Each structure stands twice: as structure tokens, then as C-alpha cells.
Amino acid sequence: MAAHELVDVVERNKECRLTFHLPPEGARTSLCPGNLVKLIFDDRERMWVRVREVAGVKYRGVLVSRPAVLRTIEQGDVVDFGPEHVADIYSEGS
């Protein structure tokens, strides 16, 4: 697993409520394997991760995006995260 830091988007939303929107808490706490979520890595790059495992409200996924800037993580790396890291959830038609 690569070394990286995920941004707590709930805290970021508190700082910038008018410009930093989040999916509802219920959606962020009820993810299922196969869901595609956007996380913010090292406060520099937003990338998509596919959820693979769910343990309560802790998740493990695989990075789907190819990093453009970061060198601490690569496409296909495993990422552990929680609902506080989910900046967006992909849904058909969005």
C-alpha cells in the first residue's frame, strides 16, 4: 500500500460550506462493493476509487484513476478510507 494522506472532507466542508459540497452522510456511510467514490489525496489530487470491501463504515478500495501529480500512489493501489474521506459518489446520469 502506498503512503498517502486523505483529506477529511467533512472538516473541509465545515471550513468552506458554501463552496465545498458533500454527498449526504447517509450515502457516505452506506457504500457497497462496486461503488465508485472520489477521494482527495494529499490535498492535491482528486481521484476515483472503486469500493471492494466494507467493514462497518470502514472501506477498502482500489484506485481507478491514474495520478497526474502524485508519485506516492499508483493506479491499482489499495486504499483504506472512511466516510469522512468521500468527496463524491458516482451515479449513472451524473
Alpha-carbon 43 to chain mean position? 12
Spans of all domains in the chain: 9-89
Q: List Cβ neighbours of 65 (8 Å cut-off, separation of 6 or more).
A: 47, 48, 49, 75
Q: Which residues of the chain have pLDDT under 50?
A: 1
CATH class of 9-89: mainly beta
- What does DSSP assign to residue 40? E
- What does DSSP assign to residue 84? G
CA–CA separation, 64 and 55 (whole Å): 20
pLDDT of residue 1: 43
